[in-house]
Amino acid sequence: MLSSPTIAANAGIALFLPPVYDIVWSAVPFALILAFFFFFVMPRFRKILDERAELIEGGIAKAEAAQAEASAQLEEYNELLAEARAEAGRIREQARTDGQAILADLKQQAQSEAARITATAQQQIEAERQAAVVSLRTEVGTLAIQLAGGVIGETLTDDAKATAIVDRFLADLDADEKATT
């Protein structure tokens, strides 16, 4: 119990003058708190923050790697596609030239075949003509003999008469030949 203002004023100083035990029970606990934060709380806290940052950065790096891989694959795919297109073009070109070559070949074959056939036909015709000429000659001979007989049967004094006969005969022959062909 405070009896006078003077004592109260003096006692007020005590508020700001710590007794020894107050100093002891301030310094020791606070030193422990400092140690606790330095050696337990902050390392833990930093570890969590670092791990979390690492996780996020790792995720970003992973995403970047995936993106790079995807773009590489895309490039590769495009390259393959271009290659395939070029290959297809080449094959098409080859086919076209091949086709043209085959066509030309066939044309040539056809032409030579045609020429051969024509030649054969001409040869045959020539042969037949030869045969015809030969057979005609033979027939002409025979007929000439018959004719001669006929002429002999008649008088052969008139040359003009004989010439007319022969001419008529040959004209007949021509007409005959024309009729048959």
| Closer residue to other proteins (CB): 6 or 21 | 21
Q: For the chain, report the end-to-end CA distance as a whole number of angstroms.
A: 172
Amino acid residing at 48 = I
| Closer residue to other proteins (CB): 32 or 121 | 32
| Closer residue to other proteins (CB): 57 or 83 | 57
| Helix (H), strand (E) at residue 166 | helix 159-180
| Closer residue to other proteins (CB): 25 or 77 | 25
Binding positions for other proteins, rule: CB under 8 A: 2, 8, 11-12, 14-27, 29-30, 32-34, 36-38, 40-42, 44-45, 47-48, 51-52, 55
Query: Reduced to 3 states, what is the DSSP secondary structure of residue 39?
Result: helix
In angstroms, what is the minimal distance from the CB of 61 to other proteins? 17
Amino acid residing at 141 = G
As given in the structure block, the two tokens for residue 147 are: 């004719």
The C-alpha angle 55, 60, 66, rounded to 5 degrees, equals: 125
In angstroms, what is the minimal distance from the CB of 73 to other proteins? 32
The label of the residue with tokens 């015809």 reads 132
In angstroms, what is the minimal distance from the CB of 64 to other proteins? 21
| Helix (H), strand (E) at residue 1 | none
In angstroms, what is the minimal distance from the CB of 59 to other proteins? 12
| Closer residue to other proteins (CB): 26 or 94 | 26
**What are the respective helix, strand and coil percentages of the chain, to the nearest 5?**
95, 0, 5
In angstroms, what is the minimal distance from the CB of 60 to other proteins? 16
